[in-house]
Copies of this chain bind each other. A is one copy, B any other.
Amino acid sequence: MRRYHYAIVIVIALLAALVPVATAYRTPDTYSGVTAEEEYDVLFQVSTIDALMLGVYDGTLSFEELEKRGGFGIGTFDHLDGEMIGLDGEYYQVKDDGVAYPVAGNMTTPFAAVTFFDADETISIEDAENYTQFGEYLDERLPSKNVFYAIRIDGTFPYMKTRSVPRQEKPYPLLAEVAVDQTISEFQNVNGTIVGFRSPEFVKGINIPGYHLHFITEDRKAGGHVLDFQIKDMEVEIDVTPDFFIQLPKEGDFYNIDLSQDLGSDLVKIEK
């Protein structure tokens, strides 16, 4: 009879323990409306490209926080201190010496776009002589121009041309002025990875329409923002990303700049 009582108490204990476990599993879904699978198809972005063009370089989100939104992506750093590459959950900072440095969790970003990379399809490219040819070839093969794609290319690139930008001090100059002082790196037959996105035309002002790619070498020691490259017999991994989350700054310069201007032509000059 006493053993029977123990058994009842233990059963109640187990039930009491299980109910909240069930709650915990349901919470992400019922709470935020985002399921695990959906979360992986979100392109998460900090601020807007036009704010960056207008010199809003103060970091607003730490890499510790950014990591929760994805370990694959591109961006820059507080004070515009270089080009960011996120790959396989690690972040790298390519400063204006062209060298890739590790990124501490308490560093911050004023502009970044990340996701959890999970390839939906692979497209083979036999030969692309430059960035433009690459873009035209891929555009013909993607299912739509109206959604986002995360893009990853691993292998040996016959040619790669990257740039990085120098850290800025306040009062911050416009990005077009900074770009004049950019450092160019060129590589031949370099092993490494292209990390980036293709965005629809309608993100104009918010992000870069079309392709925006960064590069890091296989030894994770050099790279930058991709200006041009060649491809010979490589596979392009594509992650279709239908959801787009923009986190705008909650204070600072972002609140006061004029974002109603069309900066499209300046952007093309700076990015390509």
Residues from chain B with a CB closer than 8 A to the CB of A202 are 48, 50, 205-206, 259-260
A146–B255 CB distance below 8 A? yes
Minimal beta-carbon separation of A4 from chain B (angstroms): 13
**Looking at the complex, which one of B2, B21, B68 makes contact with A33 (CB distance below 8 Å)?**
B68
Copies of chain A in the complex: 2
Minimal beta-carbon separation of A245 from chain B (angstroms): 5
Contact with B along A174-213 (1 / 0, CB 8 A): 0000000000000000000000000011111110000000
Of the listed stretches A9-17, A72-80, A87-95, A161-169, chain B binds A9-17
Cα separation A6 to B146 with both chains bound (whole Å): 63
Cα separation A246 to B10 with both chains bound (whole Å): 48
Residue A266 at the B interface, CB < 8 A?
no
A146–B254 CB distance below 8 A? yes
Cα separation A256 to B143 with both chains bound (whole Å): 9
Minimal beta-carbon separation of A54 from chain B (angstroms): 10
Contact with B along A29-51 (1 / 0, CB 8 A): 01111101001001010001011
Residue A27 at the B interface, CB < 8 A?
yes
Residues from chain B with a CB closer than 8 A to the CB of A214 are none
Residue A23 at the B interface, CB < 8 A?
yes
Residue A102 at the B interface, CB < 8 A?
no
Q: Give the interface centre of A9, A65, A146 by most chain B CB atoms within 10 Å.
A: A146
Chain A 221-250 residues near chain B, CB threshold 8 A: 242-250
Which residue of chain B has the shortest Cβ distance to A6 in the bound complex?
Answer: B9
Q: Give the interface centre of A65, A69, A202, A242 by most chain B CB atoms within 10 Å.
A: A202
Question: Given contacts A32-B32, A33-B69, are A243 and B246 in contact (CB under 8 A)?
Answer: yes
